[in-house]
Structure 1
């Protein structure tokens, strides 16, 4: 048995049901980096103020206010994640009003208690840096913010720290560098997120373009294949009609007309076979690849999925089991809870056994009496799978346990393609 590795590549395009795990993880790395840097700035403040001899109550107020300010920055980051490139920074002003007010209040309180301009100004500038500014405007605002913060840092150094000891002054130099760098770090993190989103959108667009080109190619092949035969059939039938309408040499014309009709029927058969071969060429994916694709799709949707595939699974009847694998995977995405799924394909005596199991959901595609077929979707769902497998002399068994749902399909080794798929 071969197992599909957990690190398999994800498909290029995923459904809208869940976000791609990779880009979501990167988003949380970005958020945690910005938040951690802000928390570090607050603790540096407390360290410096403690060295300046501030009492415990003042340090407690500054520390609590700093944590509230950091928490208030999270809604700004969340709004930035779902931002509209064409919208301005105040497009969702209701969502930014409270965080900006918290930053202003914290800056005023901390600035008054400490008597430092940099401490009073940095929270507001940092919160403004997290807004959805246009890219050109954002760079200019960042440069202005760096100049303002550096100037306030220098003013505080010349006034409030004139009589401080060397250790506190050295700590203020470190904090000044961190404070001026805080908006820069935040903007760089958001810029990296913008680059990642742009790349992800380009990847999805490339996949959609590839699918469109493939559809156009298939349409061209079908047009070329059917167009030629249908044109010949039309000419043959027209000739037969004219021959049958003639009054002279009736027997000879009838024989010629019958010959044209036989040729037309042969052309129809050739066109049908050509179309069938073309369809099979696009449907003929090896079953190990089908299961690997199903696992990748489930993982892309946020489901923990794995598969066990027999080494000789490529010899299983793909025309029967291929659509079954695709349909059951779709059912898991539609009706499962989305936490885990397991797929397996192995030989069972003189038959092939395919099984897919997943965590059941309250709205799964099964009622208490058996499988449920979606209304208005004839031939789909578990009933459609049952009909397809029955045409290949196979069997479908559905089992639902406590929190689990199993679909087990058994198909004879020598199963042929169902008539309904031709």
Structure 2
């Protein structure tokens, strides 16, 4: 059985952002679409200027300046990808150069062509990439679009050839850009919610276990403390009664140990198919493209040993992996069962960072008479455990 899913979107604050492959591709689609719109408008503008009997030098200047301006917007877009709602308007002085290029390019256009709307567009478009707050961004795009429409109307008085269509497209470009950026913001928000959901699910599971342990041990420890206190008080004047309380305390200790074993057994009793399915769902919810390959006879595998291993290795990937994919496999190998989980390392995760828990997994494998194997590579990390089909865990 194989479970697969397309990785969902993802994002976080600057310095903490880890984009999965899917959301990274979505971002570059957004960048490509915006730059394509700019290049298309630039091409139409240059063709129009060339028909106005402008000198070849002027046309070449407008073309080269336009390419430089388009390249500068990519810098602003790169900063926009990592934006947060509480971040500054721009990353100064990194954003200053693109804005100056846009302003200078507009001055060149007005000097060479005298077309006001075309000259105002570069700076107006570059302003769309700044980190405006939600309500402010809408007002900015409305003001910019109205200003461009007014300049377009002034330019139309000159009866410029083909300027009507190009000018209309020019007025719409900032709004189209903001819509594209708004869609990216929506994807980022959805990814943050999905990541929060995955963390919440893990936290709720840990809280449930902690609550069960607290309720069980808290009750028995309270009873044992009371019984020992009574035995201490009665020891001098009634040794027989004190001995009875000591025996009752010992009985409570045995009950607490048995209750703990029963609690552990209840968690271990989850079928391995469900354990692997839950692991895949949890990884997918965190934005990781996960799939599991499960042997048809997995129901007879030693769940008491492999179940905790599946949970521990899945948690380690969520905590330390930083990659975009993971593969889980449970297979029968003769008289043994082999569980393996492999994932890619994020670009910012050191090769030596394996996370906590590997020593515990090695001890668990040894107690079950099995072997734990860890494979490390610059961009891949794998953990596998092989245990006998008939496991007799040593106490």
By the TM > 0.5 criterion, same fold? yes
Contact residue 10 and residue 299 of structure 1 kept, 8 A? no
Contact residue 357 and residue 407 of structure 1 kept, 8 A? yes
Contact residue 233 and residue 268 of structure 1 kept, 8 A? yes
Contact residue 11 and residue 191 of structure 2 kept, 8 A? no
Residues paired across the two proteins, number? 390
- TM-score by structure 1 length? 0.78
* TM superposition shift of 1:27: 2.4
Contact residue 46 and residue 63 of structure 2 kept, 8 A? yes
SS at match of 2:106: helix
Distance 1:106 1:289, change over 3 A: farther
> Aligned residue for 2:338?
353
Aligned runs of 1:16-415 on 2, under 5 Å?
Answer: 18-90=18-90, 92-161=91-160, 164=161, 168=162, 172-246=163-237, 253-282=238-267, 284-292=269-277, 306-326=291-311, 342-356=327-341, 364=351, 380-381=357-358, 383-396=359-372, 408-415=384-391
> C-alpha distance in 2, partners of 1:203/1:363?
26
Give the structure with higher Rg (CA): 1
* TM superposition shift of 1:71: 0.8
- TM-score by structure 2 length? 0.82
* TM superposition shift of 1:284: 4.9
* TM superposition shift of 1:405: 7.2
* TM superposition shift of 1:190: 2.1
Distance 1:331 1:82, change over 3 A: closer
Contact residue 10 and residue 300 of structure 1 kept, 8 A? no
* TM superposition shift of 1:68: 1.2
Distance 1:22 1:260, change over 3 A: same
Distance 1:299 1:210, change over 3 A: closer
Q: Write out per-residue CA displacement over residues 302-360 of structure 1, whole angstroms, 9 at most, x where no aligned residue.
A: 87765422022133112222343455567778998968765432222332123455779
Contact residue 124 and residue 144 of structure 2 kept, 8 A? yes
Structure 1: gaps of 5 or more residues: 247-252, 366-371
Distance 1:25 1:346, change over 3 A: same
Contact residue 8 and residue 296 of structure 1 kept, 8 A? no
Distance 1:333 1:219, change over 3 A: closer
> C-alpha distance in 2, partners of 1:328/1:216?
19
SS at match of 2:391: coil
* TM superposition shift of 1:184: 0.8
Distance 1:405 1:78, change over 3 A: closer
> C-alpha distance in 1, partners of 2:263/2:251?
18
Q: Write out per-residue CA displacement over residues 343-402 of structure 1, whole angstroms, 9 at most, x where no aligned residue.
A: 43222233212345577999646xxxxxx998xx6xx42x54333212112234567899
Comparing 311-320 with 148-157, greater Cα deviation is found at: 311-320
> C-alpha distance in 2, partners of 1:17/1:121?
34
> C-alpha distance in 2, partners of 1:216/1:287?
22
* TM superposition shift of 1:217: 4.2
Distance 1:289 1:31, change over 3 A: farther
Distance 1:192 1:334, change over 3 A: closer
- The alignment's C-alpha RMSD in Å is 3.8
* TM superposition shift of 1:232: 2.0
* TM superposition shift of 1:294: 5.1
